[in-house]
Structure 1
């Protein structure tokens, strides 16, 4: 299947992740020289082993696509720390930065996946703390929106077809994929495959997903009063 390429500009895009992630701040302070990463991967000893763990699968990110400095940790973490079980457009061998055009769509997507995980794990009632990131998105994305032939790629309970497309797109160094949200009928999402597509990443609100043991009943904004 062949799909059109569209210029996509979202100022901003929204991404929601559990507050315990990203587990690293290495990308905030590292020197911007790519040679530093090559040296890091060659070092030996306990300290360098820890740094290699923080850097994750940095070798999968092309040198020209690597980004460092303030604001880049949540972006680079998506490409260096990813579930080996895969996602809609990744077979688990590379990372993708998933985001949405609106915060409401990002909430709908993440609530679904959080409910599924908590239910399968048989977790007791608890508050799940989430962090919102806003990032400006600008790139030439494979466009699945309003494409009848894209429906097999957006099946709610199967990622197989989407992973095949995502793997091909990643190998061809595509910027990413834009598609209609599977959990929000009016929403749009993107799977960004290259860090340079994103910029000006900043932290947004903290949210609380109220898991009652069966479903997420409410979504709260969490604030610090004093």
Structure 2
């Protein structure tokens, strides 16, 4: 079955929105990590977070360049998502450096999970951009090892960081759902996956993605020695 011009326009809008929210997410991550690095307990930790901040900005530049190639202004693409992303960060202000470290890890891994899920439904060119953003497993591994080290040094952190991790996941999912519904985000994605996509299909996709995100998060927390 062919794809109508309306469906094509809807999918193109989805791709621009996807890159817009990705760009602002990466820019925000750069700003957050750059700020958090100042409160690191050691100079080594400061350098670690600084390096990860640089990687996030490189990701922003990749997405920004892709938007430019599509003829979309990066600021115009990011603006519709600024309020939601900023609201998430306002509601999840870390109390100390350890909570900052956990937040960086959770946001990094949950975002990667979400992009990986979205990549199942998009065209090859869009998938290639997503894969470039996901390619920095180095940053994830560094955050994971530093968290394990902190927990080994002070086991009393475990219950607090486990609770903090669950809150971060809940806030992230809530904001993702809000963005999805307010911007008809996932229905645009489904246009590329199947004909006859509708709001009910989008809601079902949200439920499926949410379940998978929660399961992956729980597994990672157990790997850190925390309850999911």
What TM-score results when the alignment is normalised by the length of structure 2? 0.27
Higher relative contact order (CA 8 A, sep 6+): 1
Comparing both structures, which one devotes a greater share of its residues to strand? Answer: 1
Comparing both structures, which one devotes a greater share of its residues to helix? Answer: 2
